[in-house]
Structure 1
């Protein structure tokens, strides 16, 4: 028989005949959804299957069976042009599920998209999602309805008569189900809105805030929460903080680039006494002296905070002095950013005492303030007796060159002594 076949095709040989095992593996690949055979295969056979499985298979089939590796890398590469797996713990599987869920949420249209669209993803993906970075939240497509005025309590939200009733995706239906979620980054905005721009596209509503507050409290694994560029005002911030008090795992809080003032800063101060926060970022808000004093009061007895960023606020000398006084008692803070806060030589004098007595602070940023020659001299004299500061940003502070040179030399010496 072989000789007969050879007569018709001189290039034919037995080596061209696929092996039975190869035929079986192709059958497994082509029928994986109906007969998901994987665990009983050898590692070589598993690799063969992962390289050929369809990337459009239902997630409830592949999530639990197919391990991290080639298959999930293929899924990612087919979906997204840029795939930096280092941002996902070098896990292709984690990247796929996190970005897939992010895309679903960012495309969610309230009262149009069924919540089931999101909730159906939870069973297959819950074990692999550690971080969600939501860069847009869409509004309902129908015309907004005006809200009625409600009475205001200490923690409630003040609702303006003309505030439109446009609510975004409700996180309270999701966060408690993501049992491994550690980081949540949110921006209430619509990307590429063009000529259809409205301010409502760039802020959360009171209902958004309430549902998010409940969701944050229910997410016991959350370590980092970032809500920025979302027009969060005092009342919304206070409500969120209320539900973050005594949170068991929260370590980093970022409310940067919002509209937060002194009232909410006092709530933040309370949070510092009832949490284990290590990083607090309140950059570019409206915190002035009284709010900074409230944060400073909490800082004086806090034993967990490592980083405090108050850049681009309005703390002025009232707040700057209070923070300086608090740091005489604090033994944990290692980084303080007071850049762009209208502080003067008065604050420089308060901080110069900190530089001679505090042995924990390593980095301080005082840039874009009006410290002047007197303030610069006080800081330089204090730095001459400091051995711990390895970063001191004094750009655009009107400090004279001699004082700046002295400060920089001490910083370089301290940096060198670390190695």
Structure 2
């Protein structure tokens, strides 16, 4: 744990080198408020990315980068690291990613959404189950991209891994919240996302009508008894 010790991007690079070692046993890494920036995030992304031989760090399952100013480019680098490559290979170890307060914006959210979205072959990251994007100003644009990733496509395929999504305080209005409600609502074929069971949308900017639509979607959800909706 390296909380608030201001290790900067050079410290992040040093930790990345440690994670590259074959005997690395680090399972959780908390680097809260360390000013690692875009450069530090990119160094960590390299370690999480399968190389030409398909090798990547297999010990790390939790990464907390809250308050590190990684921006949209840092978020994009991490998203690419976790997105299946052309051969369908991806990082199968990381299951929890916290990017709270990193100014990733709509573009960063879109990149993360792409990682969660089944590709043409139906392949997507099946390891990540918790994504915390609290206070990142993703807006409706970012929320709609994430919602699309979680909504069943024409073939009924959707992300079946993510179960916790935190979008607290993200400037999300009616459009973004409606899109998330659609992901949880049965489509014409009766298919809907049955994996997500925790969605935090507190302190956003959607109206009562959309809030009611979200509540109704959860009420009719397969996991209604255990689904945690915070609005």
- Shorter-chain TM-score bucket reads 0.7 to 0.9
Q: Which of 287, 304, 312 matches 2:101? A: 312
Within the alignment, does 1:353 sit opposite 2:136 as a pair?
A: no
Query: Following TM superposition, by how much is the alpha carbon of 1:402 offset from its aligned partner in structure 2, in angstroms?
Result: 2.6
Within the alignment, does 1:370 sit opposite 2:171 as a pair?
A: yes
Within the alignment, does 1:275 sit opposite 2:57 as a pair?
A: yes
Alignment of 1:8-23 (within 5 A): none
Residue 225 (structure 2) aligns with: 416
Moved segments of 4+, more than 3 Å:
408-413
Give the number of the structure with larger relative contact order, counting CA–CA contacts within 8 Å between residues 6 or more apart. 2
Q: Could you list the per-position Cα deviations for residues 156-181 of structure 1 after superposition, in whole angstroms to 9, with x for gaps in the alignment?
A: xxxxxxxxxxxxxxxxxxxxxxxxxx
User: Counterpart of 1:319 in 2: which secondary structure?
Assistant: helix
Q: What runs of 5+ residues in structure 2 fail to find an aligned partner?
A: 50-55, 84-89, 118-123, 152-157, 186-191
Q: Which of 243, 252, 264 matches 2:18? A: 243
Query: Following TM superposition, by how much is the alpha carbon of 1:332 offset from its aligned partner in structure 2, in angstroms?
Result: 1.2
Q: What runs of 5+ residues in structure 1 fail to find an aligned partner?
A: 1-225
Q: Which of 383, 389, 410 matches 2:184? A: 383
Which stretch of the first structure deviates more once superposed, 373-382 or 396-405? 396-405
Mapped contact 2:138–2:172 kept (Cα < 8 A): yes
Q: Report the CA distance shift for 1:403/1:297 in structure 2 as closer, same or farther (over 3 A).
A: same
Within the alignment, does 1:332 sit opposite 2:127 as a pair?
A: yes
Mapped contact 1:352–1:382 kept (Cα < 8 A): yes
Query: Following TM superposition, by how much is the alpha carbon of 1:370 offset from its aligned partner in structure 2, in angstroms?
Result: 1.0
**How does the TM-score come out when normalised to structure 1?**
0.44
Mapped contact 1:285–1:312 kept (Cα < 8 A): yes
Quick one: distance in 2 between partners of 1:293 and 1:395?
25
Give the number of the structure whose residues are more often helix, by fraction: 1
Q: Report the CA distance shift for 1:405/1:389 in structure 2 as closer, same or farther (over 3 A).
A: farther
Q: Which of 275, 284, 296 matches 2:67? A: 284
Query: Following TM superposition, by how much is the alpha carbon of 1:230 offset from its aligned partner in structure 2, in angstroms?
Result: 0.4
Quick one: distance in 2 between partners of 1:307 and 1:406?
28
Quick one: distance in 2 between partners of 1:330 and 1:238?
25
User: Who wins on radius of gyration, i.e. which is larger?
Assistant: 1
Q: Report the CA distance shift for 1:234/1:330 in structure 2 as closer, same or farther (over 3 A).
A: same
Query: Following TM superposition, by how much is the alpha carbon of 1:407 offset from its aligned partner in structure 2, in angstroms?
Result: 2.5
Within the alignment, does 1:296 sit opposite 2:79 as a pair?
A: yes
Query: Following TM superposition, by how much is the alpha carbon of 1:269 offset from its aligned partner in structure 2, in angstroms?
Result: 0.6
Quick one: distance in 2 between partners of 1:263 and 1:392?
30
Residue 104 (structure 1) aligns with: none
Query: Following TM superposition, by how much is the alpha carbon of 1:409 offset from its aligned partner in structure 2, in angstroms?
Result: 4.2
